[in-house]
């Protein structure tokens, strides 16, 4: 796939390089700029002074504009970078729940962290019937007056 003379892969690589140079506020601005028609509106949306955005662009610095243009082509890269940068902060919020005054909150957070690290509790699955026998799936009434019927009838 070609994007303005570059392959999409090259565009993604360039975006990764560009966003690696942005501050958190600059990344927030680039994301907001996708939803607003002007720099001023995007700056106000993230509560940054429009003058600050102008300062970021002074002296012919095209980093912000490059990021805005490239993100329009590949927003997943930006989302991944934001997630990576904020993982420790999010984990801090989660761990703080261990010190909550609420027993229920402490238990919930503890269980969640344990399951992340050790995996969830194994669920037992019951199987009945003959090994190797055909499985019949029944589709319940869908509210349109169709009666429940085995799925195999629809395929016959």
Do the beta carbons of residue 126 and residue 144 sit within 8 Å? no
pLDDT tens figures, 102-138: 999 999 999 998 988 888 777 777 767 777 777 777 7
Contact status, residue 49 vs residue 43, Cβ threshold 8 Å = yes
State the CB neighbour count (10 A cutoff) for residue 18.
22
pLDDT tens, residue by residue, 18-53: 888 999 899 999 999 989 999 999 999 999 999 999
Q: Is the pTM of this model over 0.75?
A: no
Question: CA–CA separation, 73 vs 155, rounded Å?
Answer: 43
Cα separation, 142 vs 90, in Å, equals 41
Q: Please give the average per-residue pLDDT across 11-17, as a whole number.
A: 81
């Amino acid at each position: 796939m070609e994007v303005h003379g570059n392959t999409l892969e090259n565009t993604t690589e360039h975006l990764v390089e560009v966003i690696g140079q942005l501050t958190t506020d600059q990344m927030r601005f680039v994301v907001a700029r996708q939803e607003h028609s002007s720099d001023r509106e995007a700056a106000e949306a993230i509560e940054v002074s429009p003058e600050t955005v102008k300062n970021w662009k002074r002296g012919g610095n095209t980093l912000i504009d490059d990021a805005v243009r490239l993100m329009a082509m590949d927003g997943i890269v930006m989302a991944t970078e934001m997630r990576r940068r904020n993982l420790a902060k999010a984990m801090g919020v989660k761990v703080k729940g261990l010190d909550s005054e609420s027993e229920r909150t402490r238990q919930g957070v503890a269980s969640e962290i344990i399951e992340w690290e050790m995996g969830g509790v194994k669920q037992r699955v019951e199987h009945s019937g003959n090994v190797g026998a055909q499985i019949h799936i029944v589709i319940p009434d869908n509210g349109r007056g169709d009666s429940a019927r085995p799925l195999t009838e629809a395929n016959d």
